[in-house]
Amino acid sequence: MSRNSERSQVVLVTGAADGIGAAISALAVARGHRVMLTDVNGEAVHSAARRLGDRAAGCVLDIRDPEGWAKAFDAAEAQLGAVDVLINNAGITHTGHARDLSLQQHRDIVEVNLLGTITGVHTALRRMTEQGRGHIINVCSMTSFLPLPGYSTYGASKYAMRGFHHSVALEERNGPLDFTIIHPPSTRTKMLDQEMADPTSAISFAEKSYAPEQIAKAVVDAIVSKPVEVVFPPLAGRVQRIAGVFPRLMRWVLPRVEARGVRQRERLVSDGQPRASDASETPHRSVS
């Protein structure tokens, strides 16, 4: 069966104006799905949707806003059909150690990454159950397994997202909905540029980074294959997942990983590549 012969689904993507969300939207349209791109950045999301043609539409959505969620689902239904697949992708970070971030920055991360995602899942659960079908795909992070310096509240928001995701999936296991959670490693988007600009995030550069299109492929493949959970890279990701359970082991491993991250970050900076998203390939491996 060719990819284009898969049943065309209506897919709502958050954080779709840029980075991984934009790549997911482009690939989903290329595979024949109809996509409602949503983002807090209205101008950017409308122009991203226009570039994808008539199987795409754009809508402003700040994922922290419950009324905005209802409007986005209604807009998708009116323009493309009832939403079959929700891809909760929008997320933010503020780099730096916990003591150096303001309380407001800590709160912002939790409000977007965790509460925003919960609000979206809460909206989707009712609507999708009423229509008797639906698939919720949450884009999380490898930091949901690993306590890492420089990622305290970001990682905490992703740990909590994973706990919420799997608890809801178990609650709904006998219902009509499917649930998938996907954990990207470092990916060359503006989020990684932000990390590149801050030496406290150097650990992100310890391992190979991925192009947003590689993550998008895993996400769009999941619309059909419906895996429970996807980690990156497939093997090393499983090792990282186990390592995160043992903070004492992390203390032993961390100095070497951090040193590699510092070296790789400095190499990128001295190569005149201050923006990680400009790199076509990075020679190292990454963890966040």
Which parts of this chain interact with ligand NAD (CB under 6 A)?
14-15, 17-21, 39-41, 61-64, 89-92, 112, 116, 139, 141, 184, 186-187, 189-192, 288
Shorter beta-carbon distance to ligand NAD: residue 8 or 214: 214
Give whichever of 6 and 275 is closer to ligand NAD, judged by the CB atom.
275
| Minimum separation from the CB atom of position 48 to ligand NAD (A) | 9
6 vs 108 by CB, closer to ligand NAD: 108
Q: Which of 151, 154, 159, 210 is catalytic?
A: 154
Check if 154 is active-site: yes
Least spacing, CB of residue 25 vs ligand NAD, in Å: 11
- Spatial distance between the Cα atoms of 261 and 281, rounded to a whole number of angstroms: 16
Question: Closer to ligand NAD at the Cβ: 133 or 149?
Answer: 149
Please identify, using beta-carbon distances, which residue of 125 and 140 lies nearer to ligand NAD: 140
Shortest distance in whole angstroms from residue 89 CB to ligand NAD: 5
Q: How far is the CB of 1 from ligand NAD (least distance, A)?
A: 29
Smallest distance, ligand NAD to C-beta of residue 10, A: 19
What are the catalytic residues? 154
